[in-house]
Structure 1
Amino acid sequence: MVSLKTLTEKLDLKVALSESELATAIQSLSSLDSAGEGEISFLSSKKYRRVLSATKASAVLVTGEDAELCPEGCIALVVDDPYLAFAKISHYFATESKIAPVIHPSAIIDSEASLGENVSVGPYAVIEKGAVIADGVIIGAHCFIGEQASVGRHSRLHHRVTLAHHCVVGENCQIFSGAVIGSDGFGYAPTETGWYPIAQIGRTVIGDRVEIGANTTIDRGAIDDTVIESDVIIDNQIMIGHNVKVGSKTVVVAQVGIAGSTEIGKNCTIGGQSGFAGHLKIADGSFFAGQSMVTKGTTQAGYYASGIPAQDGNEWRKMVARIRQLEKMNERLKALEERTKED
């Protein structure tokens, strides 16, 4: 439990409150519709204004124009960006315990690996020959760090992360459970008897302040490196092929697939379940809606989309039936055009 005064000071929130309001006790963070006494919430979208007017939260983060919608007994914390303020507060109420810098006795660490100061290594983690682990790094249980791989200062690999040989993770990164960084890319040469594997001799290089979600895989390069630049956010269950480059501050949402040698620009947003063909170049600032099928590159920033959103089942069947008739309709149209020319 914490007072609003302590909370706003620790998070550097510039709000004007009375002494009695500053003394209000806050015990948790909650959504507008489920919050109760002793809880704090936020409003970042105008479509939830009606929920704000009925909330039972003790305090709500709002903009100045929405402050008057707070019901009686609810303290309006007026900020420029309620969503950013909520993001800051969320860390204060996170329930995960702080991890002490301890090397678990069951961890297997090669004598030629290098560990910095205040490093934590969880149970049954494996760190191979020549790996370099910088100061303040947290290696979770059952992680695998391959030969000559490196992890930068204050990065964290949650449990069961694989970082393959010679791959690089920068500083202040978060890699979540089950992610595989530096697996072999999908490369084979065709022969008369089948497929001959191509050795993947590049690396995967991750910049600083990158987040990689659970069960995401990023292949190592075939020859050149696969590169994820700094400040990129990659969601869960994403597949990034060999030699892909992802520009800084790009966001990739769940279940996206990016085929080999595609270059994604900076400050892009890629919606969930989108698929990218290989060897494309995507311009900085490109925004792709969910389930986009991207077969051509982009040359300028903008909004891109493809696919058909969900709709009424009967309407969808009618539409499909019409699509099947398009060829016959096209033939009839050509015949009419020919008759018109003759007339």
Structure 2
Amino acid sequence: MPRDNSITLGALTDLLGGTLVGDPEAVIHGVCSLDEQAPDAIAFSNASTPRTLQTGLDGLQARALLVRDDVDTATLNTTANLVRVPEPLPAMVRLVPLFYSEFEVERVVSERADIHPTAEIGRDVHVGAFCAIAEHAVVGDGAVLYPGVVLYPHARVGAGSVLHSGVTIRERCVIGEDSVIQNGAVIGSDGFGYYPSPEGHQTVPQVGVALLSDRVDVGANTCVDRATLGTTPISRGVKIDNLAQIGHNVSIGDHAIVCGDVAIGGSTKVGKGAVLAGASSYADHLEIADGARFTGRAAAGHVRKYEKGDYTGYPAQPIGQWKREQVMIRKLPKLLKRLRALEESVASRP
């Protein structure tokens, strides 16, 4: 929610530990983006060269701009107020609470929630209307369950976690502390396991669990399947975007990033700090090393192990190799033309 707040540019610069080029008495009433500027707000630019920064300054309507302190601003053609900081985006994040407050819910348990007598509900929680909390489920202190959240038997939600409307946590699955699960996500749905028989496909029972550690964020309508046996572990600090599919027995290491529309096949291991960009896909039983990064729409699976590095393409391969192949592909029409000319020359000889 917006706050009716203001701060002088001088005080703002001191708060950020930056350097001001401009008017310290200018008053800032908010933050904004360069795409949607406000005349009394401060925007930010991650431009790393004077030329690209000048592009952002041309037509600037915001009252001030956060810029990188390693960019030479002396050559810029501008009279704008500039606040120079090491990293503009983290600086902007620090300013947001000055002008916006998070929506606060009343810490009450709705009379319209369906809570089993054996469920354990912690202190200072919010349980919204039409939540369903089954037998022996646990809701930790300070957790927030918005209307329509469903906890199956023995599900656990850690202290301080927030589950938005429409979230389902299946039986015996665990959400760690200070995690955020966005609308419509399902944690612990059955893994996709079948085997053929003369009578048709037979279901492999999925009797494991999904286990999310602390400070894990899961996007809207994402599914994290329960394990066939054992666990589907999502480690501390992992961030998963909307519409992702995490297969049964997948493991994801600390602080990895899984972007929107990613699909990860069963039993694949994703290392710490790995980045899986949007709409990329991963076959089952892969090993992705710590720090490996995949571009959008990359398709991994033609090899089983991916070392640390940057990958792209279909099938996914090291970016350097992909670039070399793209250069060769673009040369193929000319090479084919030369080959045909050579064949005709040879054929015409007596």
TM-score exceeds 0.5: yes
Instruction: Write the letter of the residue equivalent to 1:54.
Output: G
Structure 2 unaligned blocks of 5 or more: 316-328
Aligned to 1:98: 104
Question: How far is 1:32 from its partner?
Answer: 2.1
> CA 1:224–1:44 in 2, change beyond 3 Å: closer, same or farther?
same
Matches within 5 A, 1:52-131: 52-64=57-69, 65=71, 67-68=73-74, 69=76, 71-72=78-79, 74-94=80-100, 96-131=102-137
The percentage of counterpart residues that share the same residue type is 33
Q: Deviations over 1:119-170 (max 9, x none)?
A: 0011101111111111110001100011111111111001110011100111
- Return the match for 1:38 from 36, 40, 47: 40
Task: Tell me the distance in 2 between the aligned counterparts of 1:174 and 1:43.
Answer: 28
2:7 equivalent among 4, 7, 25:
4
When structure 1 is superposed on structure 2, of 46-55 and 182-191 the one drifting more is 46-55
Structure 1 residues 107, 250: closer, same or farther in 2, change over 3 A?
A: same
Question: 2:318 maps to which residue?
Answer: none
Aligned to 1:51: 56
Contact residue 179 and residue 213 of structure 1 kept, 8 A: yes
Cα pair distance change 1:15/1:238, threshold 3 Å: same
- Tell me whether 255-264 or 193-202 shows the greater mean CA deviation: 193-202
Structure 1 position 138 matched with structure 2 position 140: no
Counterpart of 1:41, as a letter, is A
Judged with a 3 Å threshold, the aligned counterparts in structure 2 of structure 1 residues 232 and 191 are, in CA distance, closer, same or farther, namely same
Cα distance 1:70–1:83, how it changes in 2: closer, same or farther (>3 A)?
Answer: farther
What do the CA deviations read for 1:286-309 (whole angstroms, capped 9, x no partner)?
A: 10011011002334210101149x
Q: Which has the larger displacement, 299-308 or 117-126? A: 299-308
Assess, with a 3 A threshold, how the Cα gap between structure 1 residues 234 and 92 changes in structure 2: closer, same or farther. farther
Task: Tell me which amino acid in the other structure corresponds to 2:39.
Answer: E
1:28 is matched by which residue type in structure 2? G
Aligned-residue Cα RMSD (Å) equals 3.0
Amino acid paired to 2:67 = V
**Equivalent-residue separation in structure 1 for 2:152 and 2:10 (angstroms):** 42
Q: Letter of the aligned partner of 2:78 in structure 1?
A: P
Q: Deviations over 1:84-112 (max 9, x none)?
A: 11233345444652112111111111111
The alpha-carbon distance between structure 1 residues 125 and 67, as it changes in their structure 2 partners (threshold 3 A), is farther
Call closer, same or farther: CA 1:10–1:162 in 2, change over 3 Å: farther
Aligned residues of 1:61 and 1:82 also touching (Cα < 8 A): yes
Name 2:311's counterpart in structure 1.
304
TM (norm. structure 2) is: 0.82
Distance in 2, matches of 1:6 and 1:139, equals: 39
Q: Which amino acid aligns with 1:32?
A: L
Matches within 5 A, 1:154-303: 154-295=160-301, 296-303=303-310
Worse-superposed segment, 149-158 or 82-91: 82-91
SS of the residue corresponding to residue 194 of structure 1 reads coil
Whole-angstrom CA distance in 1 between matches of 2:188 and 2:86: 41
What amino acid sits opposite 1:240 in the alignment? Answer: I
Matched residue type, 1:278: D
Q: Is the 8 A contact 2:174 2:210 kept in 1?
A: yes
The one-character-per-residue Cα deviations of 1:10-31 (angstroms, maximum 9, x if unpaired) are 995213559972x543333212
- Are residues 232 and 12 of structure 1, via their aligned partners in 2, closer, same or farther at CA, if it must alter by over 3 Å? farther
Residues 303 and 133 (structure 1 numbering): CA distance in 2 closer, same or farther, change over 3 Å? same
User: Aligned pair in 2 of structure 1 residues 33, 186: CA closer, same or farther (>3 Å)?
Assistant: closer
Residue of structure 1 equivalent to 2:323: none
After TM superposition, give the deviation of residue 181 of structure 1 in Å.
0.4
How many residue pairs match? The answer is 316
Secondary structure at the aligned position of 2:196 is classed as: strand
* Residue of structure 2 equivalent to 1:14: 17
Structure 1 residue runs without a partner (length 5+): 309-318
Using the alignment, how far apart are the partners of 1:223 and 1:236 within structure 2? 26
